[in-house]
Amino acid sequence: MSNFCCWVKSKNSGSYSSDLNIFLTLSFFLTFLKPCDFPVIKHGRLYYAFKGYFPASVGQRFSYRCNRYFVTPSQSSWDYMTCTLKGWSPEVPCLRQCTFNYLENGYYTNSQEKYLQGKTVRVRCHDGYSLHNNQNTMTCTEKGWYPPPICVRRDCSAQDFTCGGRRASDQGWLLQLPTLLRRRTSLSPYPGHWGHLHG
């Protein structure tokens, strides 16, 4: 960029002053930098800021707070937003904070573990149960846990799943046991052993 400033001769020293040149250069850059409009904070609001303060210049910052169940990226209830060359920073001022302290039909602790939006936690359901769609992890989303912290009874029709500690294939064999017992059998002479089943 060509130098748009002129060197101004100082009346007092008779030398050329660079201070004025620096001031005019900074003023030029600040004039053409894209300012930041009034920020719309989802799940939060600014502290002590009026629309008359905007558009804001690059480098200006304003304090803000998040609503209930939401925190700043530093996991605080309030922080600062700064106007940068790329816009407001942080770009997402308020993030959901999920607390893992209960799991229906599953195992959990009372430690009130907290997770930030986008984080995932692995859970353990009781035997024969799982999260929705047979998942074993929950993700903290903007609306809370997904899937919700509820373990439901698994679908026993699939051979790979267990129901009540037994494989579905085993349950199918048990259901057929009365039919097998009605067939002709020859018992083994050894106690505790099943004989050979004849069709």
Contacts within 8 Å (CB) and 24+ apart, 100-104: 100/138, 100/145, 100/149, 102/149, 103/149, 103/150, 103/151, 104/149, 104/150, 104/151
Confidence grade of residue 118 (pLDDT, cut at 50, 70, 90): very high
Letter for the amino acid at 17? S
Residue 187 structure tokens: 């018992």
So what's the pLDDT on residue 25?
55
Q: What is the pLDDT of residues 108-117, one digit of tens each?
A: 887 788 999 9
Residue type, 102: Y
Q: Tell which wins on pLDDT, 65 or 3.
A: 65
Rounded CA separation 104/7 (Å): 76
CA–CA distance, 170 with 176 (Å, rounded to integer): 10
- Compute the distance between CA of residue 134 and CA of residue 8 in angstroms, rounded to an integer: 76
In this structure, the number of other CB atoms found within 10 A of the CB of residue 182 comes to 8
CA torsion angle 177 181 187 192 (round to 10): 40
pLDDT of residue 112: 83
What domains sit in the chain, N to C, each tagged with a CATH number?
Answer: 44-93 (2.10.70.10), 96-164 (2.10.70.10)
Q: Which of 4-18, 65-79, 110-124, 138-152 has the lowest mean pLDDT?
A: 4-18
What is residue 190's predicted lDDT score, i.e. its pLDDT?
Answer: 39
pLDDT in tens, 49-61: 777 788 899 999 9
- pLDDT at site 10: 44
End-to-end Cα spacing for the chain: 96
What's the pLDDT at 111?
Answer: 79
Q: Which residue has the tokens 């600040």?
A: 30
Query: What is residue 124's predicted lDDT score, i.e. its pLDDT?
Result: 94
Q: How confident is the model over 15-35, as a mean pLDDT? A: 56
For residues 81 and 13, which has the higher predicted lDDT (pLDDT)? 81
How is residue 171 written in tokens? 């349950």
Report how far Cα 138 is from the mean position of its chain's Cα atoms: 10
Closest residue by Cα to residue 95 from 122, 109, 76: 76
Band (pLDDT 50/70/90 cuts) for residue 196 is very low
| Residue 20: band (very low, low, confident or very high) from pLDDT cuts 50, 70, 90 | low
State residue 27's pLDDT score. Answer: 54
pLDDT for the residue numbered 93: 95
Tokens representing residue 134 in the block: 């047979």
Question: pTM for the complete prediction?
Answer: 0.59
pLDDT tens digit string along 126-174? 999 999 989 999 999 999 999 999 999 987 654 444 454 444 444 443 4
Q: What is the mean pLDDT of the chain?
A: 74
- Give the integer Cα–Cα distance in Å for 115 and 96: 8
